[in-house]
């Protein structure tokens, strides 16, 4: 096994050196099957069915929320629900059920799962998923799909649901949780949530803030505060509410904010990305006074000039807490009309730009390229993103997107719609929705390129060809 993996890595290096080009096709990702399907395997009747998704390291479990009513039988609530697709057994199960096993009557959404698929967190407005929900507001929930620990997920009597958006006394609160994709550590112990409710004594800003619930310690702690304990002077996350990220260990949490006082050494102006180290003194006790820090993450061009991240914060934190993939704009770079993707080394505070030359990819009269939605693997070795070109076709403004991957060697590969179709309006448009933590699997959204729908639209799982075990990941 190890010798075979080593041979593949040597082959990857050889391909890179032989290609001599930043856009050589050295990566091979194969589309497998569609996951937004009815029980019989027919495509769902709902267009753009998935709101978000996560996929396990072994590629078996895909957790997502959807408004589609035909993914499972007896779905009659006309609401968004949380589902899991079991790719091994080709079945879909609804997870956001009430305590008595009946369907929820109010929406459940913003789902996220651990790398093994066992723990799932999501927001729900339904008040009967657990017995202690007393606030008549949306709340953050955690589902343990293997609460008896026997390794069999979703078996009868072997799952448990609990409400995690709780105050320091362990009770629900009036405002509940906001609609944000939360984060959870590998063990499902540390779970983040966002609320307008002031749950900490220093939370006096009248704005949404980021909190973390430690289930084992039964504590709730404010994260969107400065190192000296000053709460942010604006909303966290920002108005557009990008996902909150957490490292596998639960130590590092990344979030966006419009606050200018979270890092006095780098106040910025407006929207920023921040990293909270919950155990900066390294003594193993998170969130203790004097043992946590907050810093603003800056993306810098060669020479040190800070680059703008735009009106929408787009970032992803690696599982080891070492790397962050960030979208930012550089008017002096190789993609001056759009945005670029940077791999930020949090340990060295160093930015490594993904070498994307717009002239190599643009087609016809398109404006190229808006690179967005970055996803990064556990150790930073695999980075995926969506690149969009906007153009006019038959007098109508439209666009098309493709998925690119930079893996280990630094070579950029377009994994969708390759080679490029001759016409701007043919083919399909693609976008990365989720990347497994080990960089082996991806969920890709497929839509018609141009102005009309296509029978080929849907959500598909892609697998990296050089995958031999669930622990695979190339070195960054």
- Which of 377-381, 419-423, 472-476 has the highest average model confidence (pLDDT)? 377-381
Greater confidence, 269 or 194?
194
Model confidence at 365, in pLDDT bands (50, 70, 90)?
low
Backbone φ, ψ for residue 10 (5° rounding) = -65, -40
Each residue of 274-287: b (16+ CB within 10 Å) or e? bbbbbbbeeeeebb
pTM comes to: 0.91
pLDDT value for 472: 45
pLDDT value for 425: 54
| 412-433 mean pLDDT | 73
| 386-404 mean pLDDT | 79
Helix (H) or strand (E) run with residue 297 in it: strand 293-297
| 16-30 mean pLDDT | 49
* SS3 at position 10: helix
Angstrom distance (rounded) from CA 325 to CA 108 = 28
Tokens (6 digits) for 421: 């179709």
Residue among 343, 411, 377 at smallest CA distance from 13: 411
Q: How many CA atoms lie within 13 A of 74 on its CB side?
A: 7
| 177-183 mean pLDDT | 97
The distance of Cα 332 from the centroid of its chain, to the nearest Å, equals 29
Model confidence at 448, in pLDDT bands (50, 70, 90)?
confident
> pLDDT per residue over 58-87, tens digit each?
999 999 999 999 999 999 999 999 999 999
pLDDT value for 60: 97
Angstrom distance (rounded) from CA 236 to CA 224 = 6
Domain spans of the chain, in order of start: 1-34+317-476
The answer to whether 442 and 475 are in contact (CB under 8 A) is no
CA distances, 316 to each of 243, 249, 262 (Å): 9, 16, 20
Q: How many helices (H) and strands (E) does the chain have?
A: 1, 27
Residue among 125, 95, 94, 93 at smallest CA distance from 107: 125
> pLDDT per residue over 111-170, tens digit each?
999 999 999 999 999 999 999 999 999 999 999 999 999 999 999 999 999 999 999 999
The answer to whether 347 and 322 are in contact (CB under 8 A) is yes
Angstrom distance (rounded) from CA 22 to CA 360 = 9
pLDDT value for 19: 31
Say whether pLDDT at 383 is over 70.
Answer: yes
State the sign of the Cα–Cα–Cα–Cα dihedral 167, 173, 178, 180. positive
pLDDT value for 454: 82
Model confidence at 471, in pLDDT bands (50, 70, 90)?
very low
pLDDT value for 49: 96
Angstrom distance (rounded) from CA 321 to CA 55 = 19
pLDDT over 70 percentage in the chain = 87
> pLDDT per residue over 240-264, tens digit each?
999 999 999 999 999 999 999 999 9
């Amino acid at each position: 096994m190890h010798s075979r993996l080593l041979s593949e890595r040597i082959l990857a290096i050889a391909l890179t050196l032989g290609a001599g080009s930043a856009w050589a096709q050295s990566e091979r990702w194969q589309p497998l099957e569609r996951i937004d399907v009815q029980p019989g395997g027919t495509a769902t009747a709902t267009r753009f069915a998935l709101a978000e998704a996560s996929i396990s390291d072994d590629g078996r479990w895909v957790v997502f929320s959807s408004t589609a009513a035909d993914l499972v039988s007896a779905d009659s609530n006309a609401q968004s629900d949380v589902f899991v697709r079991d790719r091994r057994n080709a079945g879909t199960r609804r997870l956001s059920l009430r305590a008595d096993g009946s369907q929820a009557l109010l929406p459940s959404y913003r789902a996220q799962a651990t790398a093994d698929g066992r723990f799932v967190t999501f927001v729900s407005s339904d008040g009967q998923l657990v017995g202690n929900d007393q606030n008549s507001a949306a709340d953050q929930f955690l589902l343990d799909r293997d609460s008896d620990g026997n390794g069999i997920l979703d078996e009868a009597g072997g799952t448990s649901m609990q409400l995690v958006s709780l105050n320091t006394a362990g009770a629900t609160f009036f405002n509940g949780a906001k609609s944000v994709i939360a984060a959870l550590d590998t063990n499902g112990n540390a779970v983040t949530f966002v609320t307008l409710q002031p749950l900490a004594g220093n939370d006096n800003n009248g704005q949404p803030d980021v909190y973390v619930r430690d289930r084992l310690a039964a504590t709730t702690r404010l994260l969107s505060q400065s190192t000296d304990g000053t709460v942010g002077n604006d909303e966290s996350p920002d108005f557009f509410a990008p996902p909150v990220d957490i490292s596998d260990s639960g130590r590092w949490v990344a979030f966006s904010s419009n606050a200018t006082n979270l890092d006095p050494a780098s106040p910025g102006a407006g929207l920023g990305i921040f990293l909270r180290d919950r155990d900066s003194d390294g003594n193993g006790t998170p969130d203790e006074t004097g043992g946590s820090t907050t810093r603003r993450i800056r993306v810098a061009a060669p020479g040190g000039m800070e680059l703008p991240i735009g009106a929408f914060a787009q970032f992803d934190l690696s599982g080891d807490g070492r790397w962050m993939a960030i979208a930012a704009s550089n008017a002096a770079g190789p993609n001056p009309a759009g945005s670029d993707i940077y791999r930020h080394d949090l340990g060295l505070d160093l930015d490594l730009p993904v070498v994307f030359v717009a002239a190599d990819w643009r087609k016809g009269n398109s404006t190229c390229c808006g690179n967005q939605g970055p996803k990064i693997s556990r150790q930073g070795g695999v980075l995926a993103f969506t690149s969009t070109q906007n153009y006019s076709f038959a007098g109508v403004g439209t666009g098309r997107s493709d998925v690119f991957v930079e893996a280990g060697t630094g070579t950029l590969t377009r994994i969708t719609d390759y080679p490029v179709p001759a016409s701007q309006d043919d083919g399909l448009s693609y976008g990365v929705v989720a990347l497994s933590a080990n960089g082996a699997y991806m969920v890709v959204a497929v839509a018609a390129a141009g102005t009309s729908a296509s029978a080929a639209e849907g959500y598909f799982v892609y697998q990296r060809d050089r995958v031999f075990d669930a622990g695979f990941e190339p070195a960054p």
